[in-house]
Amino acid sequence: MEIKTKGIIIDKKDYKEADKLAKIFSLEFGVINAKFAGAKKEKAKFKVVSEPFTLADFVINKGQTNTVTQADIIDSFAGILNNYTKTMCGYIVLDMVRTILPMEKSEQDLFVLTLSSLKNIETKNELVSLIDYILKFLSFSGTELMFAETNDVVYLDTNSGNLTNQKDIGFNLIDKKVYLTILDINNQVKREYNEKELKQALHLLHNIIYLKFDADIKSFQFI
């Protein structure tokens, strides 16, 4: 059976002697595995299109091993790949999709969010854009981050992964400036953000993702 879908490459690896096997986050079919035959060869037609961040219209022959038979590139997010920090933020987005989402389950809202967020990472402040993506990802996936009622003293609830004013055994105290950074981005407040606090906020969100999904997104270590 042949299927046609728009999708973005989120991961790839060598497969057999000359092929590549990629994970494609597709609009209609969610995350799927697909083979790019001969993509490791020097002049292969799929050499470029099988790389992460490639957005394309794919034609895939469904079978025991799905095989891409046609791919027309829409975007390659070159502005992300030309900047180290943007690249790392982009890979966190791809790794979240690859690690958290189930295989072959349509997630159209998350697909649209992922593409728009990658474009924001490419063209705007990448750290702010990534935090905004994570907060929306949590909401879209049914695990919305709950914020504390006041800004006075805030703790991370290590059971639920939410933020609270209530202190309990094992709860972690959160830096107020870091908390306000996340809260303001969640509320779409436009202001100058401190880079150190943005990075601290991302590491806090990494902990929250781990608590909510039991998923370790390893690319956070490069931020």
Kindly give the confidence (pLDDT) of every residue in the chain, 223 residues in length, as a single tens digit, with 9 standing for 90 and above: 899 999 999 999 988 888 899 999 999 999 999 999 888 887 778 888 999 999 999 999 998 899 999 999 999 999 999 999 999 999 999 999 999 999 999 999 999 999 999 999 999 999 999 999 999 999 999 999 999 999 999 999 999 999 999 999 999 999 999 999 999 999 999 999 999 999 999 999 999 999 999 999 999 999 9
CATH topology of domain 79-222: de novo design (two linked rop proteins) (1.20.1440)
Confirm if 140 and 106 have CB atoms less than 8 A apart: no
Type of residue found at 57: D
Confirm if 89 and 126 have CB atoms less than 8 A apart: yes
Class of domain 2-76: mainly beta
Q: What is the pLDDT of residue 191?
A: 96
Q: What is the pLDDT of residue 198?
A: 98
Q: Which two tokens stand for residue 37?
A: 């035959």
Q: What is the pLDDT of residue 111?
A: 98
- Within the chain, all domains assigned CATH 2.40.50.140 are found at 2-76
- Around Cβ 81, how many Cβ atoms within 10 Å? 15
- Within the chain, all domains assigned CATH 1.20.1440.120 are found at 79-222
Confirm if 37 and 19 have CB atoms less than 8 A apart: yes
Confirm if 209 and 131 have CB atoms less than 8 A apart: no
Burial 136-146 (b: 16+ CB within 10 A, else e): bbbeebebebe
Q: Where do the H-state alpha helices sit in the chain? A: 78-81, 84-100, 108-123, 126-140, 176-186, 195-213
Q: What is the pLDDT of residue 120?
A: 98
SS3 56: strand
Confirm if 221 and 197 have CB atoms less than 8 A apart: no
- Around Cβ 111, how many Cβ atoms within 10 Å? 21
